[in-house]
Amino acid sequence: MVDHYFAGVDVGSLSTDVVILDSAGNMVSAIVLPTGVNGGAAAEQAFDQALEQSKLTRDNVAAVTATGYGRASVAFATGKTTEISCHGVGAHHLFPKTGTVMDIGGQDSKVIQVDARGRMLDFSMNDKCAAGTGRFLEVMADRLEYDMDELSNPRYISGPSAPISSTCTVFAESEVISLLAKDTPREQIVNGLQRSIANRIWSMVSNLGILGEVTLSGGVANNKGLVLILEEKLGCPLNVPENPQIVGALGAAHIAMGKFLG
């Protein structure tokens, strides 16, 4: 009997992620690389590294589903689908009781309701502005001269919070500059930034409501301070994957397997 393998390739604005599964649905490799300026090239490189990690060749992979904003650039894909569908399926396979997925990516954020099989029921999406996304946090960390780990430190969310009212990255950065000029402590600014992101996510959650368990996906899920604020606002614990960046690619790999095996 020939062993079949299946891959998901998620070409996002900041990272390109590849997951390879065996025919039992076990993950045999996972790679996260910066997307850079060429999504197609990033997909090729990430796929090659995933194959090397799992000691496979391209001939071993029976089906590849591409997702993410750059999915059209994945020339070797056998199928393509939206990241909304993939994050729902990926979150369900990691946490089977997931009913709500909060995906906070590099350039947009989404709240997705899924059924008991991880299939999308409804969603709300912020794609008009990078505020509340990974790129927003990168800009603010640079302005505050913090690295991303320091920016996500939970100790910053327990004290006073500087108000950040702008919903636009450019204007919010101007607010931060003004606060720094007034000698506002950086930890208060970080607290304000985290709470402004949480408020944007909460507004989308409020529009849809919460079903089942809530699972986070996307690189911003590594932000421990933001996770604590969101748990406080939602009034429930959040499922945080060990590697939240690969949830979309994981879902894409499961979709590839499902279509191939029927």
The per-residue pLDDT for 249 is: 98
The overall pTM is greater than 0.85: yes
For residue 99, give the 3-state DSSP assignment: strand
Please tell me which residue, 149 or 42, carries the higher pLDDT value: 42
The per-residue pLDDT for 196 is: 86
- What would the pLDDT profile of 201-245 be if each residue is shown by its tens digit? 888 898 899 999 999 999 889 999 999 999 999 999 999 999 999
Give the CA angle between residues 35, 36, 37 to the nearest 5°: 120
Percent of the chain predicted with pLDDT > 70: 96
DSSP class of residue 128 equals: S
Domains of the chain, first to last = 1-95+242-262 (3.30.420.40), 97-240 (3.30.420.40)
- What would the pLDDT profile of 18-70 be if each residue is shown by its tens digit? 999 999 999 999 999 999 999 999 999 999 999 999 999 999 999 999 999 99
Mean pLDDT in the chain?
A: 91
- Residue 98 confidence (pLDDT) above 50: yes
Among residues 195, 204, 193, 230, the alpha carbon closest in space to that of 84 is found at 204
The per-residue pLDDT for 139 is: 85
**Computed from CA positions of residues 250, 255, 260, 262, in that sequence, does the dihedral angle turn out positive or negative?**
positive
- Residue 127 confidence (pLDDT) above 60: no
DSSP class of residue 183 equals: T
The per-residue pLDDT for 167 is: 63
Please tell me which residue, 6 or 152, carries the higher pLDDT value: 6
Among residues 53, 47, 46, 98, the alpha carbon closest in space to that of 217 is found at 98
- Residue 126 confidence (pLDDT) above 80: no
> Residue 74 CA to chain centroid, in angstroms?
19
The per-residue pLDDT for 2 is: 57
| CB contact at 8 A, 189 and 176 | yes
The per-residue pLDDT for 170 is: 74
Rg of the chain in Å (alpha carbons): 19
The per-residue pLDDT for 131 is: 59
